[in-house]
A and B are shown apart, each in its own frame.
Chain A
Amino acid sequence: DAGVTQSPTHLIKTRGQQVTLRCSPKSGHDTVSWYQQALGQGPQFIFQYYEEEERQRGNFPDRFSGHQFPNYSSELNVNALLLGDSALYLCASIRDRNTEAFFGQGTRLTVV
């Protein structure tokens, strides 16, 4: 049973560029959430996708957008990258609300 998989694992981008991160949820899970974890902080909720729609959004600017595909996989897009966007981006999938979330290994994004 494959867990949550994310790609790429590491990425270096220049300020102002755009980036796309990808996530495949755990088998049997149809809900995907994205989190940003800055160094020394807990993960912060970006948004959640369910049935190919953004169901809830955290306190992140419109530069952060996403998509969910019919096979439940998801993408996170960040436009006009800032140095402050450097973080570990985690994808999590769940089966039902308020149950445990399973995380991918994350994508470590460095903006220079």
Chain B
Amino acid sequence: RKEVEQDPGPFNVPEGATVAFNCTYSNSASQSFFWYRQDCRKEPKLLMSVYSSGNEDGRFTAQLNRASQYISLLIRDSKLSDSATYLCVVPSRGYALNFGKGTSLLVTP
């Protein structure tokens, strides 16, 4: 089993739609989790950190299910500017960050 697995997408949604991405992880000892956003050919940038059961920031909600080792990211009222790749990130037992392959989102007019 890979350390971090994500829905590969791509997800094509109209503006205003709600979209959810899923991520499963194998390191049951992880205490922190991250969603990063990466625009085409740019560096990843932190979108949300999750240290407990979940986190909400405006239109973005992240939920954590430790028993199932599952993280989700929900985007409400999608904007054209939300089009990007979303990376699920889980710290390893060492010092590395384990990244999923990313889920591609395209929001269309």
Contacts and interface: CB of A to CB of B under 8 A. Distances in A.
Interface stretch (B14-22, B61-69, B94-102): B94-102
B34 A100 contact: yes
Contacts of B4: 42
Contacts, number: 57
A50 B31 CA distance: 22
Interface in B19-74: 31-32, 34, 41-46, 49
B64 to A, nearest CB: 14
Contacts of A45: 92, 96-98
Contacts of A76: none
A58 B43 contact: no
Interface string A24-42: 0000000101010000111
B44 A43 contact: yes
A105 B73 CA distance: 24
Contacts of A35: 97, 99
Interface string A52-65: 00011010000000
Given A40-B101, A42-B102, A48 B96 contact: yes
Interface of A: 31, 33, 35, 40-45, 48, 50, 55-56, 58, 88, 90, 92, 97-106, 108
13 contacts: A31-B95, A43-B87, A56-B95, A56-B96, A90-B44, A98-B32, A99-B32, A101-B97, A102-B46, A103-B44, A103-B45, A104-B43, A106-B43
